[in-house]
Amino acid sequence: MDITRSTVFVPGATSGIGLALALRLQARGSTVIVGGRRTALLDEIVAAHPGIDAVRIDTDDPDSIDTARREVLERHPALDAVVAMAGIMRPEDWTADDFLATAERTVVTNLLGPIRLAAAFLPHLRTRAGSGGSPAFVTVSSGLAHVPLAATPTYNATKAAIHRLSEGIRLQLEPAGVQVIEIVPPAVRTAIVPGHEENPVAMPLDEFTDEVVELLATRPDAHEILVDGVKFLRFAETSGAYDATVARLNATDAHAA
Ligand SMILES: NC(=O)c1ccc[n+]([C@@H]2O[C@H](COP(=O)([O-])OP(=O)(O)OC[C@H]3O[C@@H](n4cnc5c(N)ncnc54)[C@H](OP(=O)(O)O)[C@@H]3O)[C@@H](O)[C@H]2O)c1
């Protein structure tokens, strides 16, 4: 992905990592469309950042994905990339009786959402590959795909699924000319869970996003975008430090998304 001249749709960019990434991609020269459910925030972003476009989308809702796809492609027929950023992180207690609703909702947003986005946008992205473009589908997993946080079993599982899904679809899509890039954040200070913006063990948002953009710029063919701060999780198992890393991650009350 060439971040200096791509047209990129980021569903899940009303706040946090998605917004920070969208603004940096625009600053590097790309055309950016931000998406999300909070339309007041979409309006604020458009007003504050001339040139940015916004489309309402609820990635839990197939009809909303379809409507957003039509809007995005009508206004940006040369769309090059979709970043499936939208995600939620909700604690669950599997020793109590009421975790099922949270678990189901987490699967819908974090796993079904990206799958539905891929189904909606890949026909267009494949066409772009056929006409000489460099299209990309970007997924967002987590360090917790590789080491579990006790508080969020279904979140961890959806992110592990996104990791493996990214690896699988890459095998099909890259021969068809569509790049699959997986961003693997460690804990980053956003509002994904209450208090997480002040989490001392999480990376500052600007620091994280600057490192991500630098990696995207300098390694445009990378399969995974791994900032230094996530490598202890990503490689815990292969480095032989898995048990110690699980213990270290869960030794603190701080959420490490
Ligand atoms: N922060 C971390 O520590 C961390 C670590 C690893 C991975 N991640 C991943 O990074 C991604 C972004 O999270 P964040 O930390 O930046 O949190 P955030 O600030 O809460 O952002 C989440 C974004 O997802 C959007 N979203 C959620 N559900 C949606 C839905 N049904 N339809 C459309 N948009 C939806 C939200 O927009 P609306 O509410 O406006 O819809 C918001 O823009 C997530 O996938 C998360 O799992 C975060």
37 and 110 Cβ atoms separated by less than 8 Å: no
Measured from the CB, is residue 56 less than 6 Å from ligand 1? no
Per-residue confidence (pLDDT) for residue 130, from 0 to 100: 83
- Encoding tokens for residue 235? 């490689």
pTM > 0.85: yes
Per-residue confidence (pLDDT) for residue 133, from 0 to 100: 82
The secondary structure of residue 188, as a DSSP letter, is: B
User: Exposed, middle or buried: residue 172 (CB in 10 Å: 0-12, 13-18, 19+)?
Assistant: exposed
Residue 23's φ and ψ, nearest 5 degrees, are: -65, -35
Measured from the CB, is residue 203 less than 6 Å from ligand 1? no
| 16 CA distance to ligand 1 middle (Å) | 7
| 209 CA distance to ligand 1 middle (Å) | 14
What is the distance between the alpha carbons of residues 91 and 221, in angstroms, rounded to a whole number?
35
Per-residue confidence (pLDDT) for residue 131, from 0 to 100: 86
Measured from the CB, is residue 140 less than 6 Å from ligand 1? yes
**Relative to the CA of 19, which ligand 1 atom is closest?**
43
Per-residue confidence (pLDDT) for residue 54, from 0 to 100: 98
- Encoding tokens for residue 110? 């974090």
What is the distance between the alpha carbons of residues 182 and 200, in angstroms, rounded to a whole number?
25
Measured from the CB, is residue 185 less than 6 Å from ligand 1? yes
Quickly name the fold that domain 7-250 has: Rossmann fold (3.40.50)
Measured from the CB, is residue 106 less than 6 Å from ligand 1? no
Q: State in Å, rounded, how far the first CA of the chain is from the last one.
A: 26
Measured from the CB, is residue 36 less than 6 Å from ligand 1? yes
User: How does pLDDT run along the chain (257 residues), one tens digit per residue?
Assistant: 999 999 999 999 999 999 999 999 999 999 999 999 999 999 999 999 999 999 999 999 999 999 999 999 999 999 999 999 999 999 999 999 999 999 999 999 999 999 999 999 999 999 999 887 889 999 999 999 999 999 999 999 999 999 999 999 999 999 999 999 999 999 999 999 999 999 999 999 999 999 999 999 999 999 999 999 999 999 999 999 999 999 999 997 555 55
Give exposure, 53-90, as e/b (b: 16+ Cβ within 10 Å). Answer: bbbbbbbbeeebbeebbebbeeebeebbbbbbbbbbbb
| 17 CA distance to ligand 1 middle (Å) | 7
What is the distance between the alpha carbons of residues 184 and 163, in angstroms, rounded to a whole number?
9
Torsion of the alpha carbons at 241, 246, 248 and 250, rounded to the nearest 10: 180
| 88 CA distance to ligand 1 middle (Å) | 6
